[in-house]
A = this chain, B = another copy of it.
């Protein structure tokens, strides 16, 4: 069972089609669901993925274009209809807080569900810090202020070597410290080095979500060598001339970012409605970077 998974609820762009929904992704990390963007229809896709509303605690908005936001009022209404109460934190710019508060008050103001806002800026910052992961923002280049979100697991506990723990008679009260890297001092004063008692932790994983943006070379370095990079591929090189003015990237440009960042894998998406065959994004990206995963609604992708 993976404890870090990506669910694609929608990977189309602004103009909705019968093949793709507008943007929404859910990061499923341990017991918590983190939604990134919430295009119209996201709450239904959420149900189709058999995710549970009670596990949804955070929504991150990359920017304030309708195709990334307009599913949120309906989702919040539905959460309120659950009737059990609960709390959701929406991470968005101050403008987003202002308009969304008006909408929620009007359409869901009487519902027993609390929405809290965390106002973010289009800068590099850590915006969420939990015991098991951090989320940081990276500013992007779109037509309006936009950020990408990078989820990074914190270092995990080292694995106990059960036989060595028994041999050296380590008491249970010490186990947590030893998983954290501490040595053990026996009652007779002999010090047992941590490496004797433990093996290295499971590697920490990281996920970067980059949408929407024009290509700029400095981005790769800001992202770094993540395990999975979602990077928008709105266009192919055939329409490269339109990409930058509209604040979007081609599949080749996304692959260039993945390669230069040292990412392990690239996930495509935010496809323009003009393409009928999505495999063009895959083929174009693979010319630059080998490990490309073609996105689609319904995709569930474990990071480990």
In the assembly, what is the distance between CA of A107 and CA of B68, in Å? 10
Q: Which of B16, B64, B65, B107 contacts A43 (CB 8 A)?
A: B16
* Most chain B CB within a 10 A radius of its CB, from A15, A18, A70, A108: A70
Known: A43-B40, A99-B106. A18 touches B48 (CB 8 A): yes
Q: How many Å lie between the Cα of A7 and that of B65 in the bound state?
A: 30
Q: Is residue A69 contacting chain B, with contact meaning CB distance below 8 A? A: yes
- In the docked arrangement, what's the CA distance between A74 and B12, Å? 14
Given A16-B44, A43-B16, A99-B103; A74-B78 close (CB under 8 Å): no
Complexed CA–CA distance, A54 and B64 (Å): 27
B66 & A77 in contact (Cβ 8 Å cutoff):
yes
Once bound together, how far apart are the Cα atoms of A18 and B51, in whole Å?
13
Which of A22, A69, A107, A108 has most chain B Cβ within 10 Å?
Answer: A107
Question: Is A225 in contact with chain B by the CB < 8 A criterion?
Answer: no
Say yes or no: A70 contacts B66, CB within 8 Å.
no
Chain B residues contacting A67 (CB-CB under 8 Å) are: 74, 77
Q: For A95, give the chain B residue with the smallest CB separation.
A: B106
A101 CA to B129 CA, complexed, in Å: 37
Nearest-CB residue, chain B, relative to A82 = B15
| A24-78 CB contacts (< 8 Å) to partner B | 40-41, 43-44, 47-48, 64-67, 69-71, 73-74, 77-78
Taking a contact as CB atoms under 8 Å apart, the answer to whether B65 and A16 are in contact is no
Complex Cα spacing A64 to B77, Å:
13
From known contacts A40-B74, A44-B41, A70-B73, infer whether A65 and B107 are also in contact, taking CB-CB under 8 Å. Answer: yes
The reply on A222 being an interface residue by CB < 8 A is no
Chain B positions within 8 Å of A17 at CB level: 47
Residue of B whose beta carbon sits closest to that of A15: B81
What band does the interface of chain A fall in when counting residues whose beta carbon is under 8 Å from B? 20 to 34
Q: Which residues of B contact A78 (CB under 8 A)?
A: 15-16
If A16-B43, A48-B18 touch, whether A73 touches B66 (CB-CB below 8 Å) is yes
**B43 with A81: CB separation less than 8 A:** no
CB of A102 within 8 A of chain B? yes
**Contact A47:B74 (CB < 8 A) given known A102-B102, A107-B66:** no
Which among B65, B66, B71, B81 is the interface contact of A40 at CB below 8 angstroms?
Answer: B71
Determine whether A14 belongs to the interface, using a CB cutoff of 8 Å to chain B: yes
By a CB distance below 8 angstroms, the chain B residues around A108 are: 66
User: Which residue, A15, A17, A41, has most C-beta atoms of chain B within 10 A?
Assistant: A41
Task: Look across to chain B and name the residue whose beta carbon is closest to the beta carbon of A67.
Answer: B77
Enumerate the 10 nearest inter-chain pairs by beta-carbon distance, A residue then B residue, closest first: A66-B107, A40-B74, A66-B77, A70-B74, A99-B106, A15-B81, A70-B73, A41-B41, A16-B44, A18-B47
Known: A69-B107, A70-B74. 18 other contacts (CB 8 A): A14-B81, A15-B78, A18-B47, A18-B48, A21-B44, A40-B43, A41-B41, A65-B107, A66-B73, A66-B74, A66-B107, A67-B74, A67-B77, A70-B107, A95-B106, A99-B106, A102-B102, A103-B103
